[in-house]
Structure 1
């Protein structure tokens, strides 16, 4: 290709980018014509928080004594219309969040009545955990004691099936897979209709429904408006298709830069180079992460940082959907092992994986204990991940992450040394 032709292609590409940028801005303005983008959950940065936003909100609606004042009407709408169960659960209903199981796991929401017990596992960003649903179902059946019906719900954005990793030997048919996109949106619509005589309650439900539309890309959101525009303009759609092909490589480049600079910072802090697992090197795990045909989402780096009773204490930085890091103990086989005594010595982490027994402590990127954890979700490529494209912000994030990891290792070593004394 001649220099003239290359220059013309670059100029055409810039024009196409400019057209798409204008299209997005127009759709953003249209989506906000009635204030739809003014969403209290998004403004407070809580739109993806599984625990403090979605679990709390849903549990409050499901509670017959909830502040909505509608008794068990919302709960019955969920049981009858969404789960398809012909049961009246209007009396003696108890709703619990973070219910502890015998194995010290926690079910996000449990609804219990004399005839029914429902366990709901909410998944927004976190990945499946080892034998998680198997253990939850076992707990529900134990509590049911053959006197009531036990129902396990796996609630995700799109209603996907749980992994075999989470099911263990539990049959898929024992799990009700629900989606925020369809099932919960439908239920919220039903709740809004039930409470139409209460304007403030009804509007709070509408706000949550809009949050779900933004998370799942449905409804009259900006995403839907952009899709309509692209479907009616061939040039714009061709440009978008070209971008779609390039997008995985662009995302992989952002991830690779993060892994490389983090590995370098860890080497400087601990005096040793981290090892890559789940792939031969950092480039491969970054490329494979965004390659749907090859997968590779259980990958990361690890670094030995000490010994515990002859076993190896390792610092892990792991990714499934989001980056999380912490400490594990590896046995003689080189695989992580469960050590509940050591785990109990450390403060609880803020990552979902912290519930797993083979993590001593596990965190999302957390610059300060007083702040909300900032979740680097490469699967959704959210705002904090986009911040990594800025060199100064990236260095700040990595620097704070490594500082926390150094502190975490020091605390763990000190506690364990004192316990052995």
Structure 2
């Protein structure tokens, strides 16, 4: 135990040192002030699109980006660039670049994922939409952009030809976009307004990807590798951290269920089939151990019967992040009917809910306890741990969720 104490104290000293160093750095960032730092649509997609469209420097910024996304030696006459590009019945493409060459054309489709989940056949639907617009398979480039370079889910690419799946370009903010922004800073060095904006955006990306903590991580790594006992302890701590995450997530669900049961005059459903499972200790344990069937659980409240449609439910659920929304389960037990139904469509759109086959409308929770960031249970970083282990902070977090749900139910006139 004494060795563990010394080991942890050494790591704590390194952490405190970097907290002091970081406290002296300039923290003002216009992006953090004006938008949620993780808002992939209204911040990241729009900002990247506007950079590429800049009338003075856009062409050079595009030339710097193309090698990163695997499109080289392209001599184009003009390009049209869009964010949130609507494709009929197939959703919205985050970023799209349509190149017009001398005797041909090319389209680059960029799916931008910060914390949002993949939708069913999402990349397949975008690919098919480009085919319907007249592009040949060899003229379509699919790019999948995430914080750390994750691959698209099987659901997202289901139905794509194998050759297309193999050629999806996977890039990350952490490595590729930060490197691109650094190149753009050099290009705009003589233009203070653009240069300083890019510097602030680079700073934001380093913050949300954790790239700015590399030096601290390196120092901790060196300490662990310097002592065999420390290395053994680090491996054992991995199991301890998993157990902490499991216990704290269970604590969260139990507290939220207690709170909602007291405030909602709705029936809690606990025995519905997948993907509408009630949370359980077993499911939460699997969530952190990589087992199959380890997501899409939560709380399900029956709201009312809808004539000739089925049953309407309020659903709070976790995939990686916590989100909630409204779902119809039809009389056959299927929940894949929601996108076909126009019930509450306009109201939910006005409230900024997203509509899918499985949801009339869904949206992520944000929390002031977490500086208005997503509630990410998969990562469950130290900030969220500090909220969940503190009963007063957990009370405030669950109260925020309760208030948001009650507000939306009231607006939609769904409270009894």
d(CA) in 1 for partners of 2:221, 2:351: 39
Superposition pairs of residues 64-213 of structure 1, within 5 angstroms: 64-65=54-55, 69-89=56-76, 91-103=77-89, 105-114=91-100, 115-146=105-136, 149-171=139-161, 172-213=165-206
Kept in 2, the 8 Å contact 1:266–1:274? The answer is: no
| Corresponding residue of 1:376 | 375
| Corresponding residue of 1:344 | 345
Superposition pairs of residues 295-306 of structure 1, within 5 angstroms: 296-306=294-304
Distance 1:367 1:293, change over 3 A: closer
d(CA) in 2 for partners of 1:107, 1:132: 9
Write the deviation string for residues 267-310 of structure 1: whole angstroms up to 9, x where unpaired: 33235333265667521121111112446123223122111114
Deviation at 1:326, TM superposition (A): 0.9
d(CA) in 1 for partners of 2:217, 2:34: 24
2:24 pairs with 1:24: no
Deviation at 1:32, TM superposition (A): 6.4
Instruction: Report SS of the residue matched to 1:354.
Output: coil
| Corresponding residue of 1:6 | none
- The more displaced of 100-109 and 320-329 is 100-109
Kept in 2, the 8 Å contact 1:346–1:360? The answer is: no
Work out which of the residue numbers 241, 263, 287 in structure 2 matches 1:289. Answer: 287
d(CA) in 2 for partners of 1:354, 1:385: 28
Kept in 1, the 8 Å contact 2:84–2:93? The answer is: yes
- The more displaced of 48-57 and 24-33 is 24-33
Kept in 1, the 8 Å contact 2:80–2:97? The answer is: yes
Q: CA-atom RMSD, angstroms?
A: 3.3
For normalisation by structure 1, the TM-score amounts to 0.82
| Structure 1: gaps spanning 5 or more residues | 1-8
Distance 1:70 1:345, change over 3 A: closer
- The more displaced of 124-133 and 406-415 is 406-415
For normalisation by structure 2, the TM-score amounts to 0.83
Distance 1:332 1:70, change over 3 A: same
d(CA) in 2 for partners of 1:224, 1:367: 27
Write the deviation string for residues 163-188 of structure 1: whole angstroms up to 9, x where unpaired: 12111201313522222222222322
Deviation at 1:145, TM superposition (A): 4.1
Kept in 2, the 8 Å contact 1:107–1:136? The answer is: yes
Q: How many residues align?
A: 398
d(CA) in 1 for partners of 2:407, 2:212: 45
